[in-house]
Amino acid sequence: MSDHAVLHVKGRVLVGPEDVRDELWVVDGRVCYDRPAGARDVRTVEGWALPGLVDAHCHVGLDRHGAVPRDVAERQALTDRDAGTLLIRDAGSPSDTRWVDDREDLPKIIRAGRHIARTRRYIRNYAWEIEPDDLVAYVAQEARRGDGWVKLVGDWIDRDLGDLSACWPRGAVEAAIAEAHRLGARVTAHCFAESSLRDLVEAGIDCIEHATGLTDDLVPLFAERGVAIVPTLVNIATFPQLADGGEDKFPRWSAHMRRLHARRYDTVRGAYDAGIPVFVGTDAGGGLAHGLAAAEVAELVTAGIPPVEALAAGTWKARAWLGRPGLDEGAPADLVVYDEDPRVDVRVLAAPRRVVLNGRVVGGA
């Protein structure tokens, strides 16, 4: 037995949506389902326990202007942590956040390197801005720098066209995705519009961010290939405001953004009904605040996804998809405790009672 304090979590432990246990123990920061012999200093936490929430599209170290200082990135990570988000897939950042890995009090981050965009076709100071001939080389670079993911910008506004359009020719994305897979990395892409989706999916992409352009004719292709989507509905809610800001200069783009927004819930529900994997992501860190994973789960429910499935999209299923454990025996004790059953009402997620990270109580009311 270690001399470290033992944490006893009792009440209802949601190891899975149907695997509910009465208690777990935390010994040396790890989950244990047998009472440890000789435990002396025991702290008890009671309630409904879940694996730490997952934000599968988040940007630590980034704001609307680009990379931020370390103290700002730390505040971003702490905001996510205190809201119960303990696992983040950082979907593109120019900041080096490896220092977070040395902090046991901050969420775990799975990085996708820096965004890779077409020249002058993305937000300034965010991405490597390159041309198609360089795409394979930059994908290889970010695959080596990341944690098993690479992030492309699949479409953006074309100022000459006055609307969203695909950024990359088919051959370039085929070669780039093949190179990422050769190096053991999965590839995801920012996509608002319809135009880039077929080429990306047929080229072998693993995930699409936002996916507002997903249409009925593309749904079977996504489902057949097992391509996941991360809808970021809390971010898509800003489309009308964005459209208003661009109305005078780009009326075609503005009208397109409003159409994508208007059908957003139907798009997500149609994807879910077809068997396309859907996961929770907020797009925090650009122009959006951190700590919104609970709000995104609620948005998935509003879209028509059953509450338990929406919950799974930000907990059990998301962790399995990202290759990270939940409340498994011997896993790091990253969990959140609530006063009520979040399977009944996902709005409970917005008010964690206790947040436990690496076996230590680090937050909560």
274-301: average pLDDT: 97
147-158: average pLDDT: 98
Q: Report the C-alpha gap between 257 and 251 in whole angstroms.
A: 10
**Cα Rg, the chain, nearest whole Å:** 21
Nearest in space to 321 (alpha carbons), one of 89, 30, 80: 89
| SS3 state of residue 144 | helix
**pLDDT for the residue numbered 39:** 76
Structure confidence by residue, pLDDT tens digits, 205-255: 999 999 999 999 999 999 999 999 999 999 999 999 999 999 999 999 999
pTM over 0.85, yes/no: yes
Q: What share of the chain is helix, strand, coil (3-state, %, to 5)?
A: 35, 25, 40
12-16: average pLDDT: 98
Q: Residue 66: beta bridge partners?
A: 63
**pLDDT for the residue numbered 4:** 57
- The answer to whether the beta carbons of residues 93 and 60 sit under 8 Å apart is yes
- Residues of the chain above pLDDT 90, percent: 96
336-360: average pLDDT: 97
pLDDT, averaged across the chain: 96
Structure confidence by residue, pLDDT tens digits, 154-173: 999 999 999 999 999 999 99
40-46: average pLDDT: 90
